């Protein structure tokens, strides 16, 4: 099970940190990802992080502004979002990545960037 | 990285078969057998339906099947049922990153 938290309304240029609490599987054995969905739009992969947190990858539109991290001792995944823009408004899902696919998803956290 | 191309909508009567295409390039769909498909009902999180082009997770009905030819992957729903009405997304590995399709709305008439 994956449960996101930290959703909210933030002004353009502001920051927000999302968290994802994992349970029911060995968190430290899996890559994890963040995937987002703008209102009424399709899915967009945002970032992923290797099991030990050493390798991280980002979509071009967030690289340099967002940071993915994890704490295996707390079974938690994080997404630090800085310099937020209106186009970052979306539901953010955390997802467990099993080698080639996303086999478990959280319920999502709504991030709204607006003045 | 551009989104993979899917038809905006497909429809069929209960019991019929529908096929959703997912067209990419030789850098994503054509390069790797790592295409997956996700079903999303309104207001819900996506659910994995097919992975590695043809593999079906446990619990997913056998009427869902996947295939690939060149740069195009396909999801077929055989024996369409009312609960299959949803949005469907394909997804492909691109080497380091992932790209999703543009979404297909399946309507059961």
Give the pairing type, strands B86-93 and A102-105: unpaired
Which pLDDT belongs to residue A106? 97
- Residues from chain A contacting residue B90 (CB–CB below 8 Å): none
Q: What would the pLDDT profile of B29-65 be if each residue is shown by its tens digit?
A: 999 999 999 999 999 999 999 999 999 999 999 999 9
pLDDT band at residue A99 under the 50/70/90 scheme: confident
Averaged over A13-20, what is the pLDDT? 98
- Compare CB distances from B51 to A45, A101, A105 and report the shortest one's residue: A101
Closest CB from A43, A93, A102 relative to B48: A102
Share of chain B above pLDDT 70, in %: 100
pLDDT computed for residue B49 by the predictor: 98
Task: Report how far residue B70's alpha carbon sits from residue A50's, in angstroms, rounded to the nearest whole number.
Answer: 30
What residues of chain A have any CB closer than 8 angstroms to a CB in chain B?
33, 35, 42-45, 48, 57, 59-60, 93, 98, 100-108
Looking at chain B, the whole-number percentage of residues with pLDDT higher than 90 is 95
In degrees, rounded to 5, the angle at the alpha carbon of residue A32 between the alpha carbons of residues A29 and A36 is: 165
Residue B1 pLDDT more than 80? no
Q: Which of residues 33-72 of B touch A (CB under 8 A)?
A: 34, 36, 38, 40, 45-48, 51-52, 57
> Which distant-in-sequence residues (6+ apart) come within 8 Å of A59 by Cβ?
A44, A45, A46, A47, B1, B97
The helix or strand, by DSSP H or E, that contains position A97, with its residue range, turns out to be: strand A90-97
Question: Residue holding tokens 């019929």?
Answer: B16
């Amino acid at each position: 099970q994956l449960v996101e938290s930290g959703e909210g309304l933030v002004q353009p240029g502001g920051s927000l940190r999302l968290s994802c609490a994992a349970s029911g599987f060995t968190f430290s054995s899996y890559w994890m990802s963040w995937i987002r969905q703008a209102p009424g739009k399709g899915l967009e992969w945002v970032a992923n992080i290797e099991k030990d947190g050493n390798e991280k990858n980002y979509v071009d539109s967030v690289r340099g502004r967002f940071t993915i991290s994890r704490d295996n001792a707390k079974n938690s995944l994080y997404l630090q979002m800085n310099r937020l823009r209106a186009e970052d408004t979306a539901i953010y899902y955390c997802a467990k990545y099993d080698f080639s696919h996303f086999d478990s998803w959280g319920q999502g956290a709504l991030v709204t960037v607006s003045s | 990285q551009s989104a993979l191309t899917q038809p905006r909508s497909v429809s069929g009567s209960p019991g019929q078969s529908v096929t959703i295409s997912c067209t990419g390039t030789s850098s994503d769909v054509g390069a790797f057998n790592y295409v997956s498909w996700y079903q999303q009902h309104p207001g819900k999180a996506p659910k994995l339906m097919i992975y590695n082009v043809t593999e079906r997770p446990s619990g997913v009905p056998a009427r869902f099947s996947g295939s690939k030819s060149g740069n195009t992957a396909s999801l077929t729903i055989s024996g369409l049922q009312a609960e299959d009405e949803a949005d469907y997304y394909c997804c492909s590995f691109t080497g380091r990153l992932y790209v999703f399709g543009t979404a297909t709305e399946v309507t059961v008439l």
